[in-house]
Amino acid sequence: MTLAVAGATILLSTIVLAAVAVDAARPDRPDRRPELAFPPEWTARASPSVTSSGPEFTTVTDICGLLPAGVARRLLPGTAAPRPETSGRRWSCTRVAERRRGGETGQRSLTLRVELYEGAQDAADALARDRAAATPGAAGRAFETGGGPLTALPGVGDEAFSRYAVSKVIGAAGRGAVHVRLRNAVVEVGYGGHDRPVGEFGLPDYEAQRPLPEAPARRGAEEAARAVVRALTGCAPCTG
């Protein structure tokens, strides 16, 4: 086939496809219109009657400081220095602790994220999308297995829920997470990790890696989330 013939074939195919697309979208042919189905984690909305429970936040002055040092030491003994990050109206802080006991190694991590929205309604809509995305089987959870149902947490912020899942990207790791709305802020606190034996030649044995079980993962995430919400509630400079 010559280049001229090949080019003509490609052009003709493009024209045919364009004609099909136009025909499918014709207003006089509603039966031929393509329907776009978006996953609920993109479209979920909260009740339209959400109001703020206090003065709205305008900034987060010290993201890592929202977690009390005592809680950090209890959940992450031997933790390295926290790593804060800021991007626009999003703040995050990550802490990771490595440990080795005899023939086993382990890791525990605690992540904190806070995002501010224009108002309580926008924050509630964002939490609704988070809830839909956290549902087992939702798009984006292809590498997760196990875990219990979403659990409501009354009394934590204005509304909150917790979840647990096991990811199996490289070995198995269990993580508990708490999602909270407080006024116009959405907070996510995650606590998880794994333990594994040291294999031959001192190399990690990923196949024998054990995820942090659900009970301690949820318990750690909930303890940290309650402490963070208390600190954020009392942060006067964050509402200035």
Q: Does residue 64 sit in the same domain as residue 167?
A: yes
186/145: higher pLDDT: 186
Q: Does residue 109 sit in the same domain as residue 19?
A: no
Q: What's the average model confidence in pLDDT over 73-88? A: 89
Instruction: Identify which of 121, 189, 135 has the alpha carbon closest to the alpha carbon of residue 160.
Output: 189
State the total domains in the chain: 2
Burial class (CB in 10 A: 0-12, 13-18, 19+), 59: middle
Question: Binning pLDDT at 50, 70 and 90, where does residue 6 land?
Answer: very low
Q: Does residue 101 sit in the same domain as residue 143?
A: yes
Q: Does residue 95 sit in the same domain as residue 13?
A: no
Q: Does residue 148 sit in the same domain as residue 116?
A: yes
Q: Does residue 13 sit in the same domain as residue 69?
A: no
Q: Does residue 27 sit in the same domain as residue 109?
A: no
Q: Does residue 12 sit in the same domain as residue 97?
A: no
Average pLDDT, rounded, for the chain:
81
Question: Binning pLDDT at 50, 70 and 90, where does residue 46 land?
Answer: low
Q: Does residue 15 sit in the same domain as residue 72?
A: no
pLDDT at 5: 42
Question: Binning pLDDT at 50, 70 and 90, where does residue 186 land?
Answer: very high
Q: What is the pLDDT of residues 187-209, one digit of tens each?
A: 999 999 999 888 777 677 888 88
Q: Does residue 87 sit in the same domain as residue 8?
A: no
14 has a pLDDT exceeding 60: no
Q: Does residue 26 sit in the same domain as residue 48?
A: no
Q: What is the CATH number of the domain that holds 120?
A: 3.40.1000
Instruction: Identify which of 198, 57, 29, 171 has the alpha carbon closest to the alpha carbon of residue 116.
Output: 57
Tell me the pTM.
0.77
CB 231 within 8 A of CB 194: no
Question: Binning pLDDT at 50, 70 and 90, where does residue 217 land?
Answer: very high
Print the domain residue range for 146.
40-239
Instruction: Identify which of 67, 85, 46, 61 has the alpha carbon closest to the alpha carbon of residue 229.
Output: 67
Q: Does residue 107 sit in the same domain as residue 212?
A: yes
